[in-house]
Amino acid sequence: MGTNSGATAGINNKPVGGAAVLGVGVANSAILTNSLGSGGGGGLSISGLGGQNANVGGLVGGMGGAGGGTGNNGSDDSMGGPGGGPNNQQATTPQYTIPGILHFIQHEWSRFELERSQWDVDRAELQARIAMLLGERKCLESLKSDLTRRIKMLEYALRQERAKFYRLKYGTDPPQLNEFKPSSNDDGGIGTDVATDSEVPYSSVSNTTWRQGRQMLRQYLAEIGYTDNIIDVRSNRVRSILGLNNNADHDGVGGGGGGGGNAGGIGSGGENLSPNINGNESNKRASESEGRHTPAKKVQQSNDAIILDTEAAVMANFEFLGPTEMSDDDEISDDLEMVATDNEDTDVKMAKRPKSGKDMLTEDLEAEVGEQLLNDMNLITEEVDGSLGLGELAQLTVNNESDGAYDANAKDGTGGSAGGAGYRKTWNAKYTLRSHFDGVRSLIFHPEEPVLITASEDNTLKLWNLQKTVQAKKSASLDVEPLYTFRAHTGPVLCLGMSSSGETCYSGGLDGNIECWQLPSPNIDPYDCYDPNVHSGTLEGHTDAVWGLTTMQNNIVSCSADGTVKLWSPYTKEPLLRTYTAAEAEGGPSSVDFVRNEVDHIVVAYNSAHCIIYDTETGKQVIKLEASQEMSGNTGKFINKVVSHPTLPITITAHEDRHIRFWDNTSGTLVHSMVAHLEPVTSLAVDAHGLYLLSGSHDCSIRLWNLDNKTCVQEITAHRKKFDESIFDVAFHATKPYIASAGADGLAKVFV
C-alpha cells in the first residue's frame, strides 16, 4: 500500500498543482503511463499503481473523466481507491479514480462557471432592453402629452383668430354663442350630460364650436398637405402606441360622460364656468375621488373651461365695440376662408401684437388668459394617464362622419359667398422690386403697360418694366431691375400721380416741389445716356412737404403740409389754377383725391379727421363728411388716405385708429365703418371697376376687400417694419391683373 499512499499523495498533490484545465492532460498521462506501466511500472505519479487492473481502471477512470462519465461518478465505493479496484468487475462498473473524479468535478465546475457568465450577459442584455423600452415609453408619453398640448394651443389660437377676424370683418362680437345649436346626433354623452345637469348654456355650444375648431384645424392641416388619411393614420398610430383601440376610446369617453352624471363631477363642471384656475383645482380634487373614468371627464371639463376662458377673453376684447351690425349666413365659410388665407401670418401677428401700445389693456387680458391656458394645460398634462390622453384623442377622430357633411356645407357656403363669381382669384407675390435704398413712399401703375413707377425716401423715383425680369435665386418670385432713375428731388419723394395717357408722371416731395416727368420708353437701356428732357418741369408753389397728389385728365391736385390744396394744370403758362385753404380748425390736409363720379369736385382729408369736398371751379366747400357721434373726440382717428369710389358717390378713408370708413358724398354721412387692420391703415386703392378695395397698414399686411359686402377676401403679409412704419402705398393696375404694395423696407412688390 506504500505505492497506494504514494499514489494518494500524488493525487492529493495534483489538484493543488494542476488547474481544472489540466484534467485532460491528466487523463492523457494516465494513458501514457499505462503503456509505460506495461513496460515495467515506473514510479511516475498516478500510474505508479502497478497491477494491470489498476492500469485498466486508471484507463477507464481516465476515460470516464475525459468523457464526462455520467453514471456512477457519485458512488463512494468506486471512490474507495485503487486498492478496491481490482476486486470489482471491470466490464459492468466503470472504475472511478480520484483523479478522474476530480477532473470531472473540475470540468463541471468550469462548465457551470461558463454558463453562469453567459446568464449574466443575457441578464445584462435584457436589462438594457428593458431600460430602452422604458425610455421609449417615456418618450412616447411625453410626445403624446406634448401633442395634446399642441392640439389645445392650436384650438385656442384658431379660436382667437376666428374671433379676431370676425371682429375685423363685421366690427362686432362673434355671435357663435347663440347661433349654433348642437345636433343631438353628433354630441357625445358629455355635452348632453353637462347641459342637463348644470344648466350651462355654454357647454353644449362649446362642444360644437370645439368641433368646429377641430374642423378648421383639419382644413389647416389639409392646406399644408396633411390629408385626412394621414391624420387618421396618425391618430391610429398614436392610439396603437398607447396600446388601446377604438372601442376603448369610445368607452373611455362614454364612461367619462357617465361619470359626469355624478354629483361631484357636475359640481366641478359648474365651477369651471368661471374662468379661473380654481375651477380646475376643484376639478382635480373631484377627479381624484372619482377613480379611473374621471380623468377623461376632466379633460372634457378643462377643455370647456379653456373654451369658456377663451370666449370670455374674446368678449372682453370686443366689449369696446359697438352693437352688432350684421351677421351673415355664410359666416362659417368666411371664417374658414380667412383661416385658410391667413394661416401663415398667425404667428407673426401674435408675436407682434404686444408692440402696439394702444391695446395694452386688451393685450394684457389676452396675455393673462394665454398664460392661464398654459397653466391649465400643464395641469392636465402633468397628470396625464392613458385614459386621459385617450379621451382627448378620441375626440379628434370620433366625429369624422359629421365632418364630411360639414365640409360639404362649408364648400357650398364658400361658393355662395364669393359673390356668385364661382371662383376667386388668389393673389400671389410675383415680382420684387428692389433697388431703393430707403422706404418706398408711393407707387403708381402705367394705365396700360405692365410698367410702374416707385417713389422713395432715398430722393429718387424709379421706372420698372415687369416684363424685364431677372430670375431670383431659389424662389418663385422674380426680381425686376429698374429701367430708369428719376433724380430731381432734394428730399424724400412722398407721392405720385400719372396722366391718363401714361406719358407723364408727377411726383411731390418733402422739398415742397412737384416735379413733372416725361416717361422714357419702357424698353430703354438702363444705362443709356442722360436725357435732361425727361425732367420736364417743376411746379413751385407749395412751401412745405407735398403729401398728396392725384390726377384727373390734364389737371393735378396736390395737398401740402403748408396747409393748402392746389389745383394745377401743368405744361401751361400759369400752371397754378387755384388754391384751397380750409378753416384753421381743420388743421393741415393729409390726403386728397378727385371725386370720380362728379366733375370738378375734390375731396380733401384734414388733420381734424374730417373730409371736405370742394368745388374746384368756385373753390367753395360743397359738403363736409363727418359723423356726429362717432367722430366726436377725434383723437387718433387721423386720416392717412382718402380715395373716391370710381363710380359711386362714396368716399373711403383710411384711419390711424385701424378703421376704414365709408362716406356718402351727397348726404355727408358715415355709411360704414370697420376695423380693417391691426395697426393704422395707411393706404387705399380701389380697382377700376369699383368692386374691390385694397388697403395697406403698418401691421405689415395688405388686405383685399370685397366692396359689395365689405368682407376681407385676402390678406398678404408684404413688408417689414422700419421704425414703426411698414406699408406706405398700395395700387391696382387699371387694365391688367396686377396689384402692388410699397413698404418702408425699401421694397415694392407686385402681386398677380
Partner 1 sequence: MKMADGSTILRRNRPGTKSKDFCRWPDEPLEEMDSTLAVQQYIQQMIKRDPSNVELILTMPEAQDEGVWKYEHLRQFCMELNGLAVRLQKQCSPSTCTQMTATDQWIFLCAAHKTPKECPAIDYTRHTLDGAACLLNSNKYFPSSVTLNHRVSIKESSVTKLGSVCRRVYRIFSHAYFHHRRIFDEFEAETYLCHRFTHFVTKYNLMSKENLIVPINEEENAAPGESEA
Q: From the CB of 605, what's the least distance to partner 1, in Å?
A: 8
Candidate ranges 132-140, 141-149, 193-201, 483-491; the one touching partner 1 (CB under 8 A): 483-491
Q: From the CB of 588, what's the least distance to partner 1, in Å?
A: 5
Q: Does 481 bind partner 1 (CB under 8 A)?
A: yes
Q: Does 723 bind partner 1 (CB under 8 A)?
A: yes
Which residues is 625 bridged to in the sheet? Answer: 611
Q: Does 479 bind partner 1 (CB under 8 A)?
A: yes
Q: Does 482 bind partner 1 (CB under 8 A)?
A: yes
Q: Does 218 bind partner 1 (CB under 8 A)?
A: no
Q: Does 721 bind partner 1 (CB under 8 A)?
A: yes
Q: Does 717 bind partner 1 (CB under 8 A)?
A: no
Tabulate helix, strand, coil % of the chain (nearest 5).
45, 25, 30
Angle, helix 228-242 to helix 201-223, in steps of 10 degrees? 110
Q: From the CB of 433, what's the least distance to partner 1, in Å?
A: 9
Instruction: Out of 589, 614, 663, 675, point to the residue binding partner 1 (CB under 8 A).
Output: 589
Q: Does 33 bind partner 1 (CB under 8 A)?
A: no
Instruction: Out of 638, 663, 692, 751, point to the residue binding partner 1 (CB under 8 A).
Output: 638
Nearer to partner 1, 207 or 653 (CB): 653
Instruction: Out of 430, 434, 468, 578, point to the residue binding partner 1 (CB under 8 A).
Output: 434
Instruction: Out of 527, 533, 633, 635, point to the residue binding partner 1 (CB under 8 A).
Output: 527
Q: C-alpha dihedral over 728, 732, 736, 740, to 10 degrees?
A: 20
Q: From the CB of 491, what's the least distance to partner 1, in Å?
A: 7
Q: Does 529 bind partner 1 (CB under 8 A)?
A: yes
Whole-angstrom Cα distance, residue 85 to residue 90? 9
Whole-angstrom Cα distance, residue 299 to residue 77? 79
Q: Does 590 bind partner 1 (CB under 8 A)?
A: yes
Instruction: Out of 3, 53, 432, 538, point to the residue binding partner 1 (CB under 8 A).
Output: 432
Candidate ranges 34-42, 263-271, 371-379, 530-538; the one touching partner 1 (CB under 8 A): 530-538
Q: From the CB of 511, what's the least distance to partner 1, in Å?
A: 7
Whole-angstrom Cα distance, residue 735 to residue 729? 19
Q: Does 491 bind partner 1 (CB under 8 A)?
A: yes
Instruction: Out of 338, 746, 749, 751, point to the residue binding partner 1 (CB under 8 A).
Output: 746
Q: Does 156 bind partner 1 (CB under 8 A)?
A: no
Q: Do 353 and 678 touch, CB atoms closer than 8 A?
A: yes
Using CB atoms within 10 A of its CB, is residue 615 exposed (0-12), middle (13-18) or buried (19+)? middle
Q: From the CB of 541, what's the least distance to partner 1, in Å?
A: 15
Whole-angstrom Cα distance, residue 693 to residue 706? 6
Q: Does 355 bind partner 1 (CB under 8 A)?
A: yes
Q: Does 399 bind partner 1 (CB under 8 A)?
A: no
The per-residue b/e assignment along 361-400, b for 16 or more CB within 10 angstroms, e otherwise, is ebbebbeebbebbeebbebbbeebebbbbbbbbbbbbbbe
Per DSSP, the residues of 539-602 read: E---SS-EEEEEEETTEEEEEETTSEEEEE-TTSSS-EEEEEE--GGG--EEEEEE-TTSTTEE
Q: From the CB of 200, what's the least distance to partner 1, in Å?
A: 36
Q: Does 370 bind partner 1 (CB under 8 A)?
A: no
Whole-angstrom Cα distance, residue 65 to residue 100? 5
Q: Does 722 bind partner 1 (CB under 8 A)?
A: yes
Q: From the CB of 622, what's the least distance to partner 1, in Å?
A: 22
The per-residue b/e assignment along 707-732, b for 16 or more CB within 10 angstroms, e otherwise, is beebbbbbbbbbbebeeebbbbbbbb
Q: Does 497 bind partner 1 (CB under 8 A)?
A: no
Instruction: Out of 512, 541, 575, 696, point to the residue binding partner 1 (CB under 8 A).
Output: 512
Distances (CA, A) of 731 to 214, 445, 638: 37, 7, 21
Q: Do 457 and 438 touch, CB atoms closer than 8 A?
A: yes
Instruction: Give the sheet arrangement for strand 692-697, strand by strand.
Output: 681-686, 692-697, 701-706, 711-717
Cβ atoms within 10 Å of 528's Cβ, excluding its own: 11
Task: Give 90-93's long-range contacts (Cβ < 8 A, gap of 24+).
Answer: 90/53, 90/56, 90/57, 90/60
Q: From the CB of 488, what's the least distance to partner 1, in Å?
A: 6
Restricting to residues 558-587, name those near partner 1 by CB under 8 A. 559, 561, 587
Candidate ranges 47-55, 309-317, 507-515, 665-673; the one touching partner 1 (CB under 8 A): 507-515
Q: Does 269 bind partner 1 (CB under 8 A)?
A: no
Instruction: Out of 191, 259, 497, 588, point to the residue binding partner 1 (CB under 8 A).
Output: 588
Q: Do 750 and 466 touch, CB atoms closer than 8 A?
A: yes
Candidate ranges 339-347, 398-406, 409-417, 542-550; the one touching partner 1 (CB under 8 A): 542-550
Nearer to partner 1, 46 or 654 (CB): 654
Q: Does 641 bind partner 1 (CB under 8 A)?
A: yes
Angle, helix 189-198 to helix 294-318, in steps of 10 degrees? 70
Q: Which amino acid is at 496?
A: L
Q: Does 656 bind partner 1 (CB under 8 A)?
A: yes
Q: From the CB of 496, what's the least distance to partner 1, in Å?
A: 13
Q: Is the dihedral of CA 657, 659, 662, 667 positive or negative?
A: negative
Candidate ranges 34-42, 150-158, 322-330, 523-531; the one touching partner 1 (CB under 8 A): 523-531
Nearer to partner 1, 60 or 642 (CB): 642
689 DSSP 8-state letter: T
- The DSSP H or E segment spanning 294 is helix 294-318
Nearer to partner 1, 148 or 695 (CB): 695
- The DSSP H or E segment spanning 248 is helix 246-260
Instruction: Out of 141, 438, 598, 615, point to the residue binding partner 1 (CB under 8 A).
Output: 438
- The DSSP H or E segment spanning 37 is helix 23-40
Q: Does 61 bind partner 1 (CB under 8 A)?
A: no
Q: Does 460 bind partner 1 (CB under 8 A)?
A: yes
Q: Compute how many residues bind partner 1; rule: CB under 8 A.
A: 65
Q: From the CB of 458, what's the least distance to partner 1, in Å?
A: 4
Q: Does 420 bind partner 1 (CB under 8 A)?
A: no
Nearer to partner 1, 108 or 531 (CB): 531
Q: Does 354 bind partner 1 (CB under 8 A)?
A: yes
Q: From the CB of 519, what's the least distance to partner 1, in Å?
A: 17
Candidate ranges 38-46, 205-213, 306-314, 526-534; the one touching partner 1 (CB under 8 A): 526-534
Closest CA to 284 of 155, 145, 384, 143: 384
Q: Does 100 bind partner 1 (CB under 8 A)?
A: no
700 DSSP 8-state letter: S
Cβ atoms within 10 Å of 243's Cβ, excluding its own: 9
Instruction: Copy the grid coordinates of residue 273.
Output: 364656468
Whole-angstrom Cα distance, residue 377 to residue 371? 10
Rg (CA), the chain: 45
Nearer to partner 1, 311 or 745 (CB): 745
Candidate ranges 32-40, 54-62, 329-337, 432-440; the one touching partner 1 (CB under 8 A): 432-440
Contacts with partner 1, residue ranges (CB under 8 A): 354-358, 360, 363, 432, 434-438, 458-460, 472-473, 479, 481-482, 485, 487-492, 494, 510-512, 526-527, 529-530, 532, 535, 544-545, 547-548, 559, 561, 587-591, 607, 638, 640-641, 656, 680, 698, 720-725, 744-746
